[in-house]
Amino acid sequence: MSDILQLLPNIDTEPFEKVLERLEKANISSNDLMTLGPIDVARRADVSIDQVRELTATLITQLHAQLGFDALENAHEKEKEKDDSANSAKKDGAWSQISTLDDELDAALGGGFPAGQVCEVTGESAAGKTQLLLTLLLAVQLAPPHGLGKSALYLSTEAALSTTRLNQILTRHPYLSSLPDSEKPSLSRVQSTQLRDLESQDHVLRYQVPVQIARANVGLIIVDSVAANFRAEFDRVGANSSDALARRSLQLTQLGAHLRDLARSHNVAIVVANQVLDRFGPVASLFDATATPLSQNSVATQVSSANNNTAALPPPSQQPPLLLSTNDPLSLDHQQRFFTGWGDHRFMRDLKTPSLGLTWTNQLSARVVLLKQPILKPQDYLLGPGMDIVGWRRHLKVAFSAWSRDDNGTDGVEFEVCEEGIRSKKQDDNTGTSDEA
């Protein structure tokens, strides 16, 4: 028995009265009407082909309306108009960004962290990732050009938001403290929650965050850190199987797609912190006959020079070749120096790799790397530097970005962590870097 009348309860039956009667007698269902050719249906029901085509078009149109396809098409059209207006605004120079409140760091980042993009800040423990993110939580509340004039959302997968440190930055930063009370950022405009596991993380990001963006006028979303729940879920015994790795890659791709959609559709800046892993590999000189390994004396000389803020690195012509474990330009070891932030410096030997691999890297618009190098206690010049660490030198560099170019070399911009948050170090500043977390 035909189900056409059940699917089309609101159809005007007068134009199709005879056709529907013939289709009913021939037991032609709605599925047959849409999948079979109009010629076959016309032959089975003994009706005209034009009437079959007209009825089929009416059936498809009403089914689309019932399933909400019309609303979806309208949404797509509105989204396209929004994208076109956003692109035209970018072309006109209306490119909204969140400042780090430091001119040199902003210059290295191409102006700051832009709205509508997903950026990553990665580095070793105590490299200054959280300090940079806390500064952004306050800067986003400022009026353009320093911020977006909106509130912030802090999603933590590890430690809870440090409101004490956030208040210290607010009161000690020279620019923030100089603002009138009506323009100062407020801790009440920073919303925070903790993501205990991947299940709660997915639920919060998909269902609670969009509501909070509209309710609290959120302009910045920070996830600190994006790797913690994935490492807790997959870094277990038996988690390195092909099925587990495939499942993790799928979840990372879905997470990246959802974050990009949030950033684009709501015009918010999304900044995620990421952990790093030690990079292990074969000895370079065993694979590359042209490589020139550094001697112990030359290493000691370089470390000693690095501890001296006024010492300059040798010119490129006198620098040793970059050591790689393979001379194959298509290998991952050769290419990851272009997107990890480690391996492009000739004196960098403690190589790291951001967590979550190449799958996650492909989800990002930019990767900002915070490098940390120890300052060793000087000893007798014949023995080289000692083993006691007296401080740290920190650098901010852009590994890759869709909108900026790092013109500060492979070292990036040197900065320090202090009571006011983070600030770039001037070339004539010979003081040691603060070790405050």
List, in order, residues 6 or more apart from 200 with CB less than 8 Å away: none
pLDDT value at residue 437 = 40
Cis peptide before 385 (omega within 30 of 0): no
Q: Does the residue 47 lie in any domain?
A: yes
String of DSSP letters for 247-309: HHHHHHHHHHHHHHHHHHHHT-EEEEEE-EEE-----GGGT-TT--PPPHHHHHHHHHHHHST
DSSP state of 112: S
Q: Does residue 21 sit in the same domain as residue 153? A: no
CA distance 378 to 387: 9
pLDDT value at residue 382 = 59
Q: Does the residue 312 lie in any domain?
A: no
What range does the domain containing 33 cover?
Answer: 4-67
**Which of the listed residues 220, 244, 275 is the one where a domain comes to its end?**
275
pLDDT value at residue 297 = 40
- Cβ atoms of residues 399 and 368 within 8 Å: yes
**Which of the listed residues 275, 290, 314 is the one where a domain comes to its end?**
275
Q: Does residue 121 sit in the same domain as residue 222? A: yes
Q: Does the residue 306 lie in any domain?
A: no
pLDDT value at residue 304 = 44
List, in order, residues 6 or more apart from 3 with CB less than 8 Å away: 29, 30
- Give the CATH number, domain containing residue 146: 3.40.50.300
pLDDT value at residue 374 = 85
pLDDT value at residue 235 = 64
Q: Does residue 41 sit in the same domain as residue 119? A: no
Q: Does residue 140 sit in the same domain as residue 26? A: no
Q: Does residue 61 sit in the same domain as residue 171? A: no
Considering the entire predicted model, what is its pTM? 0.69
Q: Does the residue 265 lie in any domain?
A: yes
Q: Does the residue 324 lie in any domain?
A: no
Q: Does residue 52 sit in the same domain as residue 140? A: no
Q: Does the residue 305 lie in any domain?
A: no
How many Cα atoms are found within 13 Å in the side-chain-facing hemisphere of 314? 13
Q: What's the structural domain count of the chain?
A: 2
Q: Does residue 57 sit in the same domain as residue 119? A: no
- The mean pLDDT values, 10 residues at a time, for the chain of 437 residues are 65 77 83 82 86 83 69 58 52 72 92 94 92 96 94 93 94 94 94 92 93 94 92 66 83 93 94 89 43 39 44 46 64 81 67 90 94 80 67 90 67 89 73 44
Q: Does the residue 240 lie in any domain?
A: yes
Q: Does residue 26 sit in the same domain as residue 169? A: no
Q: Does residue 186 sit in the same domain as residue 147? A: yes
Nearest CA-CA partner of 296 in 380, 377, 382: 382
**Which of the listed residues 275, 296, 314 is the one where a domain comes to its end?**
275
Q: Does the residue 318 lie in any domain?
A: no
pLDDT value at residue 384 = 59
